[in-house]
């Protein structure tokens, strides 16, 4: 086991944390001594973290502050701000960094905004160009200008104009996560509009800041499914877990680069729609298994990947040991689970052959945990 940076919620998001935390154990006995070691840097509700691929820099979605911020590692277990927070959009809940470290994409649950920022050679988030800055002000303060990457619009099939889960039936855009595809494009989920959107990065100089995104096409999922998080499989398939319908949709790209749904599977045969709300989707390192956490029943569901990566089958369901498992991570053959409402994390053993969670190895108290990021 290694150490982990911890994303969490602070008082502004009804949590108890005061910054990015550290989870670590005693050397050689990490699996039974993992414990919260305190905040390594002050930050308001850094609910999701991402790492630069080649620099010792961590990026945080400051969800309650509608901003993103970079932090540089300045010691063994110390982070320091690398520039000021950068405004991005309401309820920013996810950040993803390009594999080459050139840009960062932030997804905003509150207003549906998806924004791409360029990163400089030291990992700093570059300020937007003047026109993009005006667009961000428009997004945040209600002017008439459009941002580089506008909120999604509902698909024009008529049926999709009504959201069965929204008060009054009106649909609202809720961007939730982004994944960089192998061809350089970017996939994002819109939980409110039941969309997976495929973007192309706008061309321009990286020194100019936010270069924006251009919509390539959209994949429309069934009404009311609520696509939340995604996993790229080694086979090239994209697996998407849905928060409302408790399913995993598998997407594949055709020869012309157009993505579409090729399969769907229940995240668990006994998941109860309206009671269970899947959160993260994680895979084993070899790609043989996928895992999703069901908030509500507080369980972990394991699925085996079959065929060429397009087929899934449910193989096991186990207690997560936490309340409201918001995030989980497979690491070195074990699973870490973050319990947002129980202020705890658990460490689960996994059966290497069957993929099934075997039971709770260890539990630790952690203030309002929301995300694990291994310390490199």
Condensed to tens digits (0 to 9), the pLDDT of residues 34-50 reads 999 999 999 999 999 99
pLDDT at 356 over 50: yes
Counting Cα atoms < 13 Å in the Cβ hemisphere of 92 gives 29
In the chain the domains, ranked by start, together with CATH numbers, are 45-73+83-224 (2.130.10.10), 228-376 (2.130.10.10)
C-beta atoms surrounding 26 within 10 Å: 10
The 8-class DSSP code of residue 101 comes to: S
Count Cβ neighbours within 10 Å for each residue of 63-92 and write b for 16 or more, e otherwise: bbbbbbbbbbbeeeeebeebbebbbbbebb
At residue 203 the predicted structure's pLDDT band, cuts being 50, 70 and 90, is: low
**Percent with pLDDT over 70 in the chain:** 86
Q: How far apart are CA 211 and CA 209, in angstroms?
A: 6
pLDDT at 207 over 90: no
pLDDT at 9 over 80: yes
**DSSP three-state, residue 82:** coil
Q: How far apart are CA 50 and CA 254, in angstroms?
A: 29
Query: Could you write out the DSSP letters of every residue in 42-80?
Result: E-S-EEEEEE-SSSSEEEEEEGGGTEEEEEEEEETTEEE
Q: How far apart are CA 243 and CA 165, in angstroms?
A: 11
Q: How far apart are CA 175 and CA 228, in angstroms?
A: 8
- With contact defined as beta carbons under 8 Å apart, do 139 and 113 qualify? yes
At residue 205 the predicted structure's pLDDT band, cuts being 50, 70 and 90, is: very low
pLDDT in tens, 91-129: 999 999 999 999 999 999 999 999 999 999 999 999 776
N-terminal to C-terminal alpha carbon distance within the chain:
12
Q: Whole-model pTM?
A: 0.91
- With contact defined as beta carbons under 8 Å apart, do 114 and 103 qualify? no
**Cα Rg for the chain, rounded, in angstroms?**
20
pLDDT of 172 reads 87
pLDDT at 151 over 60: no
- Helix and strand numbers, DSSP H then E, in the chain: 2, 28
Question: In whole numbers, what is the pLDDT of the chain averaged over residues?
Answer: 89
Question: Can you read off the two tokens belonging to residue 192?
Answer: 């409110």
Count Cβ neighbours within 10 Å for each residue of 126-156 and write b for 16 or more, e otherwise: bbbbeebeebbeebbeeeeeebbbebbebbe
Question: Can you read off the two tokens belonging to residue 331?
Answer: 């690491």
């Amino acid at each position: 086991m290694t150490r982990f940076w911890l994303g969490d919620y602070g008082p502004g998001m009804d949590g108890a944390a005061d910054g990015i935390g550290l989870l670590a154990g005693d050397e050689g006995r990490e699996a039974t001594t993992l414990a919260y070691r305190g905040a390594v840097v002050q930050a308001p509700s850094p609910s999701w973290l991402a790492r630069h691929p080649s620099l010792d820099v961590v990026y945080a979605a400051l969800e309650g502050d509608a901003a993103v911020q970079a932090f540089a590692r300045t010691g063994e277990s110390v982070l320091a701000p690398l520039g000021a927070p950068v405004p991005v959009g309401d309820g920013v809940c996810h950040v993803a960094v390009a594999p080459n470290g050139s840009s960062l994409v932030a997804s905003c649950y509150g207003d549906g905004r998806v924004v791409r920022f360029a990163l400089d050679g030291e990992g700093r988030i570059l300020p937007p160009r003047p026109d993009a800055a005006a667009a961000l002000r428009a997004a945040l303060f209600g002017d008439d200008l459009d941002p580089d990457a506008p909120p999604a619009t509902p698909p024009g099939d008529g049926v999709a104009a009504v959201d069965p889960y929204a008060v009054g039936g009106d649909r609202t855009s809720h961007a939730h996560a982004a994944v960089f595809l192998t061809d350089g494009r970017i996939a994002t989920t819109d939980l409110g509009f039941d969309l997976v959107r495929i973007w192309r990065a706008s061309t321009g100089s990286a020194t100019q800041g936010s270069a924006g995104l251009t919509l390539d096409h959209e994949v429309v999922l069934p009404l009311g499914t609520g696509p939340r998080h995604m996993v790229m499989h080694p086979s090239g398939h994209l697996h998407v877990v849905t928060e409302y319908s408790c399913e995993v949709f598998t997407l594949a790209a055709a020869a012309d680069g157009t993505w579409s749904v090729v399969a769907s599977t229940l995240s668990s045969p006994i998941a109860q729609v309206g009671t269970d709300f899947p959160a993260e989707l994680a895979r084993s390192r070899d790609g043989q298994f996928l895992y999703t956490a069901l908030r509500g029943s507080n369980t972990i569901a394991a699925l085996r990947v079959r065929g060429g990566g397009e087929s899934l089958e449910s193989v096991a369901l186990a207690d997560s040991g936490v309340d409201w498992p918001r995030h989980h991570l497979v690491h070195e053959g074990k699973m870490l689970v973050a319990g947002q409402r129980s202020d705890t994390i658990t460490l689960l053993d996994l059966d290497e052959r069957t993929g099934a969670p075997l039971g709770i190895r260890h539990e630790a108290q952690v203030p309002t945990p929301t995300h694990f990021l291994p310390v490199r």
